Structure 1
């Protein structure tokens, strides 16, 4: 059988034959979650994370970022990076492991003209393992609960900064008891570990094939663990963060209880 031939006038799928535009750039990468700031009126995702109250709160509590270095872990599509740069950070390294999310970050960076942020494609756990690494602030919004080894991550992050911001889901037997429908994606059993003198409870969880969607923004493996809320705070203290500021408590979040924590050492 002879394969059917396209018309000689048919456009190759990998090309765009229209006037160059910001919307063309957005449409070149699928799976957008975030909207763009108003000064860039393109159609992308629905969430206005360029004005995220969680990051706004972090900036208020931390103080000026003028002259400061920031490491952002899991930047998703660059919206929080945008807020951090506008707050005056001198240097931002943003590390993203999801290939499509990384490309969306590059499109976002180009269209909103970020100047002091660099996006890096790869595993931020490996990035944190570099010798003599130090940042004034590490921002880890929406990543802790996607990790197969959240304790190892916290240890590496604590070695690289004196100020760590987390927005994360957590486990709570009170806020999310075994009968709660949100527990349906958790695997059976509780893992118990001793970490820097803290007895930690970890709850393995599955994505249930959510990673097959182009907009998936979870972890690298279908093997991640949530930490009990009180255990997480105890771990942060054990790692030397003696000031913990907490906000955005949402026990009824549809995916599971969540909150923000800005953890600092006294000198930070």
Structure 2
């Protein structure tokens, strides 16, 4: 690609913003929006998981929300539409961050602040308290997922998590997945014991739209280890939904936790 190929020679419009990342989008824009993201299939701008979380916790109006890993701003868009007072969204992937800025401009998300950087470092160094922490699609990308759960527990009385988890029986029976995972192991963090498998991204790292973790491997906790850790960190009221043991990328579920 020559530098002149980077110029846009059509009249300014919002589709031009999206086409900067043509072929890299994971999210589909709202159905009432004429703009197109490619390939853009995930319904993250009209996500029933967020609708469910609001029913569990109550109205998000005037809430201070901390969002970990906004990806392309779909949930951020939903938080503003539900009248959140302020949304802090932290994204470490530079291309995902720039896509979030495109979405912020297109939809005028004036109550969302996208920050570029590592949310673990942010949580380690903040004294701020939030009405809720949203961690959708990030736990299974972590090298130290138990540490992340502990840090979240210090920042809010409520949390929402959607995550994949390791289930040995399911993974070993999925030919397309099992080569990515190590045998089940046990670990301990600050007195919390847990079971996990180390997952490798392998060929996924070659895609320009890659939106996984910052390292070539991550730890997938077992479902039981996730729930056990949350209870030890004070989230005694846990409600679970969206159980997907047959999810194409590995078993997954969502939960809302309150202290």
Which TM class, normalised by the smaller chain length?
Answer: over 0.9
Of the candidates 132, 140, 145, which is equivalent to residue 145 of structure 1? 140
8 Å contact 2:66–2:89 — kept in the other structure?
yes
Of the candidates 198, 220, 223, which is equivalent to residue 226 of structure 1? 220
Of the candidates 11, 15, 23, which is equivalent to residue 19 of structure 1? 11
**1:216 matches 2:210:** yes
8 Å contact 1:75–1:94 — kept in the other structure?
yes
How far 1:180 moved relative to its partner?
Answer: 3.0
8 Å contact 1:198–1:231 — kept in the other structure?
no
**1:58 matches 2:53:** yes
Secondary structure at 1:46 match in 2: strand
Q: Paired residue for 2:20?
A: 28
Name the CA distance, whole Å, in 2 between partners of 1:131 and 1:78.
23
Q: Out of 241-250 and 12-21, give the one that drifted further.
A: 12-21
Q: Paired residue for 1:7?
A: none
Q: Which has the larger radius of gyration?
A: 1
Higher strand share: 2
Q: Paired residue for 2:41?
A: 46
Secondary structure at 1:33 match in 2: strand
8 Å contact 1:193–1:199 — kept in the other structure?
yes
8 Å contact 1:196–1:235 — kept in the other structure?
no
Q: Deviations over 1:94-129 (max 9, x none)?
A: 001111111110001111111200101111111111
Name the CA distance, whole Å, in 1 between partners of 2:127 and 2:3.
51
Q: How many residue pairs end up in the alignment?
A: 254
**1:72 matches 2:41:** no
Name the CA distance, whole Å, in 1 between partners of 2:12 and 2:135.
35
8 Å contact 1:74–1:94 — kept in the other structure?
yes
Name the CA distance, whole Å, in 2 between partners of 1:177 and 1:77.
28
TM-score under structure 2 normalisation? 0.93
What RMSD, in angstroms, separates the aligned Cα atoms of the two structures? 1.6
Structure 1 residue runs without a partner (length 5+): 1-9
